[in-house]
Chain A
Amino acid sequence: MVEGPLPMNSSPINGLTPQGKRSLIEEELKASVAWLIRLRWLAGVGVILTAWSVNAILKLQLFTFPIYLIGAVILVYNSIFYYIDKKIQSNPAATQEYTRLAHWQVGLDWLAMILLIHFSGGVESPAILFFVFHIIIAAIFFTPRTAYIYSLVAILLVWLDVGLEFLGILPHYPVEGFLQEALYKNIWYVLAILLFFGATSLISAYLAISINQRLRRREEEVMELTVNLQRATERLQALNDGARAISSTLELSEVLNRLVKNTAEVMHVHACFIRLLDKTGQHLERVADFGLSQNFPDNGSIDVQNNPLIQEVLSGKIVNIPDTSQTSLLQYPATTIREGIHSMLVAPLIGKSGPLGILGVYSHNVNHFSKDDETFIAAIAAQGSTAIENALAYQAIEALDATKSQFVRMVTHELRSPVSVIKSLLRTITAGYAGGLNEQQRDILERASKRAEALQGLVDDLLDLAAGKADIKSHGEMEPIRLDDVIEQVVKRFEISAKEKEIDLIWENHISEITPMVKATQEGLDRIFNNLVSNAIKYTLPKGKVTVKLTRVENEACVTIEDTGIGISEEAQAQLFQEFYRAPNAKEMEKEGTGLGLVIVKDLVKRFGGKIGVKSTVGVGSEFTVILPLLLQ
């Protein structure tokens, strides 16, 4: 069963560059040349040994000298080929030399072969079959055409030798004792052998060429698969890297910028852009691009209705425009071509609730994007959509939080002014600036004053909390601040109230090797320690002790505020940093208190990149620890 030869002009391999294909054939040629040289050592030695054994063992009469000579010549020219092969091996661009070497080898082998046949009996020679091996080798080396030519040359050479011997023009060298009669003069025998030799040669050439072509084709397929696999791996890697880069931020503009940059890099194109739908869903805004020139005009918002390309993409299709000069889909074909954009691929960005926008890549080359690229950009777009949606959601939450905080601030401010005025007015009376009061009147007004004061404290705390959440700048810009100075000032501030309660207030600074600088706001830091130290004193019974300690743990400053106070139950500890929570024993001891102080403290500590924790035993005392990252030079 013979399969037809595969077509010579097999389609160019996708993804395999012409260089890659050529180097594959070069490699094969090099390997074949070396392999043939190795074989030829055996052939040369084989010829000599066969001649000797025919004479010495089989006792047949063979015209030995020329055959020995042919064997020797084969070995000699093979040595030369060996030497040349070694020499040109070091030259990586020696394709031509290799082709020439192959032709020389086959040419000389042909000559040696025909001489061998001639001196071993011509048409009677059993060596005549060996030519088939040569033909197979030629099929491996050369293009089918060349291989067929070599086959025909082999056939012609044999026919010529046999014909000339038949006609008596060339001498006949029979192997004495091998055949009973001289067959070379038998016209039917000669014709039969020549016909069969010719047919065998051609069929062998055909089979060898077909098999070789199929093998080469397979090899190319494997190569193609390898290249594709490699590319797929690269792309997966890129996709993975991209996903990580994109999802590592929730800032929308950052997400978009990373997405366009990654996409352009991964797809090896010069530019990439993203347009997102505005709130109406009728316009696409240009939100991010990468690789476009300064001259590329910003067409501003694009009306979806006027743009057939975008309509198609938004309907969920990936649009591949192989040649921008040959399409009617573009809204601004002139500027596109002026920018050097000759092909483009545009994919929809689709979120959970519908289309978000489009992601596109531009190439300088016509027909740049393949089916593979379409699949790939779809994967990127899917990934990007998720990231964009997350960022949008985050943005919405942030905006909502800011609005809420703004609202709280407005309301609270509206509360604060009247409370503040009430307090002032009451104070003018209780201080006696509006005339005398009897004891009961004064008592009542003082109570009212106290409640107003408590209310003001609550409003102030609420404002702080809302202000902090709404906008960090309202607490001032963060700057490097000496932590020990801040703590010292706070401790000094409480010296008098501690003394009044006969509480031992101790301040220990254990950082001496460096100046403990932290990035924070002065007011924020003050607020943190003011609150913690004031709590410690407030909830410590007279004759107790409050120790404020600053230590360094690696790159962090650690401030502990330890007291011998009433302590906090485990249950209360769990809720300590929740808004409006006050521990029952604290409430019992101090009626006043908003339950917002520690929330604000925690908020501030977090904002300064730190952590806060508490350890406490009821009746023994509490220890609050604030850890802040140190600024180290």
Chain B
Amino acid sequence: MNKKSILLVDDDPDVRLSLRLPLEAAGYEVKEATNPTEGLASMKKEKPDLLILDVMMDSATAGFQFALDLKSEDPKSELKAFKDIPIIMLTAIHDTTSLRFSPDQDYLPVEVFLEKPVEPDVLLATVKKQLGE
């Protein structure tokens, strides 16, 4: 059986490590990117089955913007190939930005939000659900 691949986009290597370990232990292939640009490059090379996206990267809204671009309804979007990839967005509810509240699904079409720090069990359960396993 082919390993499902997950792309982790987060600028904090420690966060990536703490997520990667349980995911790999559960048998997923995990790729990492530190920002949306790298993430997109990686996706274009090989389309992942799932995206785990940090809300805060280069700028306070980089994660949000990336998710919006990926899920764009615009048929001419160059990213339409990735429209169906489920996204788990990592948030820190106590962040200083005004975006500390998870926006509505209408506003930001990501599949699910997870609050940091993420419990490994919760992470795995969520991933499983998103991958339809």
Residues of A within 8 A of B17 (CB): 425, 428
Q: Kindly state whether residue B98 has any CB partner on chain A within 8 Å.
A: yes
* Nearest chain B residue, comparing its CB with the CB of A523: B101
Indicate whether B108 reaches chain A with its CB closer than 8 angstroms: no
Chain A residues in 8 Å Cβ range of B21: 428, 433-434
Asked, given contacts A420-B117, A476-B101, whether A463 binds B12 with beta carbons under 8 Å apart, the answer is no
Selected from A416, A421, A427, A433, the residue in CB contact (under 8 A) with B94 is A416
A423–B22 touching, CB < 8 Å = no
Interface-facing stretch out of B40-48, B69-77, B118-126 = B118-126
| B105 contacts partner chain A, Cβ-Cβ < 8 Å | no
User: Which 8 interchain pairs have the tightest Cβ spacing?
Assistant: A424-B18, A433-B25, A420-B117, A433-B21, A424-B117, A428-B21, A433-B22, A421-B14
Q: Contacts A421-B12, A428-B21; is A474 near B98 (CB within 8 Å)? A: yes
The smallest beta-carbon distance between B19 and chain A, in angstroms, is 8
- Tell me if B100 is interfacial: C-beta within 8 Å of chain A: yes
Could you mark each residue 1-28 of chain B with 1 if its beta carbon is under 8 Å from any beta carbon of chain A, else 0?
0000000000010110111011011000
How many B residues touch A, CB cutoff 8 Å? 23
Q: Whose C-beta in chain B lies nearest to the C-beta of A423?
A: B117
A248, CB-defined interface residue at 8 Å? no
A403 interfacial contact with B, CB 8 Å = no
Q: Is the CB of A431 within 8 A of B121?
A: yes
Chain A residues with CB under 8 Å of chain B are 409-410, 412-413, 416-417, 420-421, 423-425, 427-428, 431-434, 456, 459-460, 463-464, 467, 473-474, 476
CA gap between A172 and B91 in the complex, in Å: 130
Q: Binary interface profile of B, 77-116, with partner A (CB < 8 Å = 1, else 0)?
A: 0000000000000001011101011000000000000001
With A417-B12, A474-B100 given, is the CB distance from A424 to B94 under 8 Å?
Answer: no
Q: B125 to nearest A CB, angstroms?
A: 13
Q: Shortest Cβ distance from B96 into chain A, in angstroms?
A: 5
Whether the pair B92, A420 counts as a contact (CB closer than 8 A) is: yes
Contact present for B14 and A433 (CB under 8 Å): no
Given contacts A431-B22, A474-B98, are A425 and B14 in contact (CB under 8 A)?
yes
Can you list 29 residue pairs at the A/B interface with Cβ under 8 Å? A409-B96, A412-B94, A413-B94, A413-B95, A416-B92, A416-B94, A417-B92, A420-B92, A420-B117, A421-B14, A421-B15, A421-B18, A421-B117, A423-B117, A424-B14, A424-B18, A424-B19, A425-B17, A425-B18, A428-B120, A431-B22, A432-B25, A433-B21, A433-B22, A433-B120, A463-B94, A473-B98, A474-B100, A476-B101
Q: A470: nearest residue on chain B (CB-CB)?
A: B96
Which A-chain residue is minimally distant from B22 (CB atoms)?
A433
Instruction: Report the minimum CB–CB distance from B85 to chain A (whole Å).
Output: 24
Chain B residues near A412: list those with CB within 8 A. 94
B52 to chain A minimum Cβ distance, whole angstroms, is 13
Please state if A428 and B96 are interface contacts (CB–CB under 8 Å).
no
Known: A413-B94, A421-B117, A432-B25. 19 other contacts (CB 8 A): A420-B116, A421-B18, A423-B117, A424-B118, A425-B14, A425-B17, A427-B18, A427-B119, A428-B120, A431-B120, A431-B121, A433-B21, A433-B24, A433-B120, A434-B21, A456-B117, A464-B94, A473-B98, A476-B101
